[in-house]
A and B are shown apart, each in its own frame.
Chain A
């Protein structure tokens, strides 16, 4: 079925078995909300948000380390805006600015080069968080720093990879039947990365773009292929089976597989990347940032991230926890499940 009008009708009138579909990527969560997709679906099609917002899964130990670095007299932390308000175990970067933390916000990690070259007597640390989509950008940054002999920049990394956590989701209690696979992750990795999980758990994964039309077609493909262990590429304009091999090679040059700590999930073996030991002078101390302490003990971000409850089922949602006063990371980022849900209610 290619005609979108027929797809919309099919999804609204679907009366088969209930199907639980997880969108792993935070950008998909936002796009689903923005396009009103849920209202276009039958009550038997359930959409569940997953852990694919890097801000939401960054543990408090990482935020605490950033704050520690930003309070050093000669160091400035450079970051995407999303990370500023994420709670550490005691405070956020923005709150730490009130007691002298030096923090600068940028649009691109590459912007740090010009900033560092303009102040050679100062040190700069980039808060390098992200999934497979963003890691090549950090590899390109490292490559440029080395080539241009920029000596006053380091990275504090919290880089994560998808397949290992998808495995946990498949085994978890959220009873997921199908996945909307993250389109921009697959640009880099290729659609092949989800094949092992699809085949092992007999679940369909559909790689999707971010427009409403893309998502509707993706959900249709997932419903039609429930129980089938296959990966379908519904974003062929930029995603191939192999992915961007230039980007993959650059990532492999500078990074090595490691375990990683996920906020709300814990330590997941092999789900992270660290700067290789031979480039350790560019690492601001990323290893071992594992602990994760909640600012508010009643915060249920961990269950939301795993798809076990909806944001509205958290006792703090919309009360003490809101975008102006986030208690957990899911309420901070515009791609977080709680923030998205709060903004569309």
Chain B
């Protein structure tokens, strides 16, 4: 139940306090209010809410590692 997915914020609706988040092509509206985020940030979404901003540096490192494995 603690499942959470990483996506990228495409736009923010400040009035509704929601963000449109792209998950590899699927766009989902997620509620803001638990983390300080902006358009373009990679974020962790849990139960329809943005739980945390993802560190770009760490994300790139992990993505590179995953690509390396896929290539093997």
Residues of chain A touching chain B, judged by Cβ–Cβ distance below 8 Å, are 4-5, 25-27, 52-55, 80, 82, 107-111, 129-131, 133-134, 136-137, 140, 143-144, 182, 184-185, 187-188, 209, 211, 213-214, 236-238, 244, 246-247, 250, 333, 335
Contact = CB atoms under 8 A, between A and B. Distances in A.
Contacts of A213: 62, 65-66, 69
28 contacts: A27-B1, A55-B1, A82-B1, A108-B47, A109-B48, A110-B48, A131-B1, A133-B1, A133-B4, A133-B51, A136-B49, A137-B34, A137-B48, A140-B33, A144-B33, A184-B2, A184-B44, A187-B4, A211-B62, A213-B66, A214-B62, A236-B58, A238-B54, A238-B55, A238-B58, A244-B51, A247-B51, A250-B34
B69 A110 contact: no
A134 B65 contact: no
B39 interface: no
Given A4-B69, A187-B52, A213-B65, A110 B31 contact: yes
Nearest to A106: B48
Contacts, number: 107
B2 A25 contact: yes
Interface in B14-69: 31, 33-36, 44, 46-49, 51-52, 54-55, 58-59, 61-62, 65-66, 68-69
Interface of B: 1-4, 31, 33-36, 44, 46-49, 51-52, 54-55, 58-59, 61-62, 65-66, 68-69, 72
B61 to A, nearest CB: 8
B33 A143 contact: yes
Given A237-B54, A238-B52, A140 B4 contact: no
Contacts of A211: 62, 66
B71 to A, nearest CB: 12
B49 A110 contact: yes
B34 A246 contact: yes
Contact of B46 (A133, A143, A236): A133
A207 B4 CA distance: 15
A5 B2 CA distance: 29
Given A27-B1, A187-B44, 12 more contacts: A26-B1, A54-B1, A82-B1, A130-B1, A140-B34, A140-B49, A184-B51, A187-B51, A209-B62, A213-B66, A236-B55, A237-B59
Among B2, B36, B44, B59, residue most surrounded by chain A Cβ atoms (within 10 Å) = B2
A247 B34 contact: yes
B70 to A, nearest CB: 10
A180 B58 CA distance: 20
Contacts of B46: 133-134, 137, 184
A274 B13 CA distance: 32
B23 to A, nearest CB: 13
Nearest to A30: B3
Contacts of B62: 209, 211, 213-214, 237
A244 B48 contact: no
Contacts of A110: 31, 48-49
A4 B65 contact: yes
Contacts of A250: 33-34
A55 B36 CA distance: 30
A52 B1 CA distance: 9
